[in-house]
Structure 1
């Protein structure tokens, strides 16, 4: 499937922003574009902030532009075409769609521009490398925390990510793996809320009405959706502690909710994913480059190996009462 056409208004806006960025680029700096699926929610904002604060960017070695994909594969492909036209040296790609993103990668490959994947995957063998985390494992971990609290009995609902994104697919696989260990648990509802707190709240409100007092657990494939479910439960006048709820990412509100005992969460280190991907992207352009980010020391099990690995996995960190204050302190 090819995504070439985009509305004139959006194209003009994206190209205009890129031209402005290109005009201000530092002479001799490596030009890297970070094409992320969307910046509405906190997790990708944290990812982008870490990318912009990479030591190579701060020092001027890299001139970085972060592109907001607006949760649209068409927009992301148009941004790739803009980066190709503007002669970017490398691209870090966080795709909204595992299949649709392959066309964009192919275009960059044909132009001789290396593409490093990060956070979400794309079905392409043309990526230079991928820096992310194992979403199947995350889906299993979060579902297991819900099912353990339920004692492997009762009914759950599942709030999914955008259909067709790798995190939705793989976390779903992990959810199923955990559910298979609890055959007495029934899935009452399963639907996408597109990583959105507001969409999840609306869905959960409907489900609470349709399944009066039957829902025991909520598996949110990200924290934003789990938090939306909590808001729906509160709005319905129900006790949040009567539900087993879990999400993924470790966004700030979720960390506070874990501290309050409202939900469980698993920290996805978007900062490490972003900075690791930039290190790998620089290496693809500058062969003698040595990584400047501290994340390789933070996660020694994620070995650098001269930046030539096809995949780097940033470990997950379960959020606990013991580590939540330290995690919150890093957000200040």
Structure 2
């Protein structure tokens, strides 16, 4: 992880009750957790948004610490302090609905980003199709093992929309390969360390039997790679895939140890912030460059309910450019 991102993790956990200028809209971002690089990239993109850098709005990022009750408490804080809009990246698709209801009752618009919440009171959502990514990563693994053999699946936090939808995509791909057996399927909560422990146990329980590893995010795929290496095995002898395009995964793709699909967290964050500002300032025009970067995702005057950020498979042809962008 880069020093810049580590600095972001420590500085973005801004305290509620920070001093705001009275004439600036106050926008809160409630994210499920800031421990890992992907959400640090997402949060950093908010601070790099032109409207924030030019001082047009004040943004506070709340670290949900991977806990639905903590996120609920943070919503109550934002409601009490009179925030003008909220961007929500929930840890739980169902539990997060109560927080959205509370904000709606206080007439505070909530914009979803990255992960979904099961609420019809969400103003709009900016994210990527997790069913599609789950299918793409599993298909890579299955194609590499020739649609036969044994695989394991390392899932995200049970109950989060990305876990639910990526698993749906995983199963869609697996249905196309009836001769492939899923030996193990458990959650590692997006954690590299938890995934490493799972994989160590699975390699012991199924010696020489595992051909493919489907990690529902890069952190968990990287944890699996560490377990494979610790067991004295070559990661290249497995088909391993993850999702997100975090920095260590980009290096692992370059080394030939795994496949990854870039999830543009920066676009998800900045798109949601443009929508939130437009809800508060009716004459506002979007300032993020993402709307020109993704012409297939039009601004639509900020009135659409769904904005879908495309996935970008990480390949030998684009990995160096993606790594350069992280410097």
TM-score tier, shorter chain, comes to over 0.9
Match of 1:109 in 2: 104
Give the TM-score of the pair, scaled to structure 2. 0.95
Distance 1:123 1:27 in 2: 33
Match of 1:11 in 2: none
Match of 2:7 in 1: none
Q: Does 1:160 align with 2:155?
A: yes
Distance 2:276 2:296 in 1: 20
Distance 1:88 1:196 in 2: 32
Deviation at 1:27, TM superposition (A): 3.1
Q: Does 1:64 align with 2:62?
A: no
RMSD: 1.0
Distance 1:99 1:241 in 2: 39
In the alignment, is the contact (CA less than 8 A) between 2:14 and 2:61 conserved in 1? no
Q: Does 1:177 align with 2:172?
A: yes
Instruction: Give CA deviations for 1:68-114 in whole Å, capped at 9, x if unaligned.
Output: 00000000000000000000000000000000000000000000000
Secondary structure of the structure 2 residue equivalent to 1:158: strand
Secondary structure of the structure 2 residue equivalent to 1:249: coil
In the alignment, is the contact (CA less than 8 A) between 2:14 and 2:60 conserved in 1? no
Aligned to 1:327, which of 310, 322, 326?
A: 322
In the alignment, is the contact (CA less than 8 A) between 1:218 and 1:226 conserved in 2? yes
Aligned to 1:40, which of 15, 20, 35?
A: 35
4+ residue stretches of structure 1 with deviation over 3 A? none
In the alignment, is the contact (CA less than 8 A) between 2:14 and 2:62 conserved in 1? no
Give the TM-score of the pair, scaled to structure 1. 0.94
Aligned ranges for residues 212-251 of structure 1 at < 5 Å? 212-251=207-246
Secondary structure of the structure 2 residue equivalent to 1:303: coil
Match of 2:134 in 1: 139
Distance 1:124 1:283 in 2: 21
Unaligned runs of 5+ in 2: 1-12
Distance 2:272 2:71 in 1: 18
Aligned to 2:192, which of 197, 217, 225?
A: 197
Deviation at 1:25, TM superposition (A): 1.1
Aligned ranges for residues 23-34 of structure 1 at < 5 Å? 24-34=19-29
Match of 1:8 in 2: none
Secondary structure of the structure 2 residue equivalent to 1:18: coil
Instruction: Give CA deviations for 1:39-58 in whole Å, capped at 9, x if unaligned.
Output: 00000000000011111111
Deviation at 1:26, TM superposition (A): 2.3
Q: Does 1:82 align with 2:82?
A: no
Match of 2:45 in 1: 50
Secondary structure of the structure 1 residue equivalent to 2:58: strand
Distance 2:111 2:88 in 1: 6
Match of 1:266 in 2: 261
Deviation at 1:247, TM superposition (A): 0.1
Distance 2:33 2:283 in 1: 33
Aligned to 1:17, which of 2, 15, 26?
A: 15
